[in-house]
Structure 1
Amino acid sequence: MKVIFYTREKCHLCTEAKEILNVLQNDYNFEIMEKNIDDSDELTEKYGLMIPVIEMNQEIVQYGQIDYYTLSKRFQKKVNPS
């Protein structure tokens, strides 16, 4: 599974979100594809006020203040859909 992580430099929320994603990689098998929104005007316009943004299967699963519990529950649903 691939997770797209939209971020930007000097973003403390992004740093915290990256740490959470790294911890979750121990429980769920996924690859993190990090995209700096400042590298693209289109991404900056789309996600500028939302970052960090975590996308899985072309769906935004969480953005802004990322928390371990909520993100973990979303991973469980994606990995083990009921």
Structure 2
Amino acid sequence: MKVVLYSKDECCLCANAKVILRELQKEFSFQVEEVDIYKDDALLEKYQIMIPVVEIDGKEVQCGIIQKDVIRKRLIKFSGVE
């Protein structure tokens, strides 16, 4: 399962999202790819006011204030584990 976190430097919401994803890695097997939107003009235009954005297997699942329960439910759905 591939999880991408779109973020930027010095973003408290992004830092919180990273903590949540690290905690969920204790329950689920996945790697997190962190992408700084300021290093790609297309991503900056797309996600500028939405970050952080969590994407699982190519599908955006949550943005802004990331909630652990929402991400957990999506990880369960994408992993096929109940």
Asked if these proteins are the same fold (TM beyond 0.5), I'd say: yes
Q: If the TM-score is normalised by the length of the shorter chain, which range does it land in? A: over 0.9
Give unmatched runs, 5+ long, in structure 2: none
Backbone CA RMSD of aligned residues: 1.3
- State how many pairs are aligned: 82
Query: Aligned to 1:4, what secondary structure does the other structure show?
Result: strand
Structure-2 separation of matches of 1:24 and 1:30: 9
**Cα separation, partners in 2 of 1:60 and 1:72, compared to 1, 3 Å:** same
Q: Extract unaligned runs of 5+ from structure 1.
A: none
**What does residue 35 of structure 2 align with?**
35
TM-score (norm 2): 0.94
Residues in 1 aligned to 2:2 and 2:58: alpha-carbon distance in whole angstroms: 10
Report the counterpart of residue 55 of structure 2 in structure 1.
55
Identical pairs, percent: 40
Mapped to 2, the partners of 1:58 and 1:2 lie a distance apart of 8
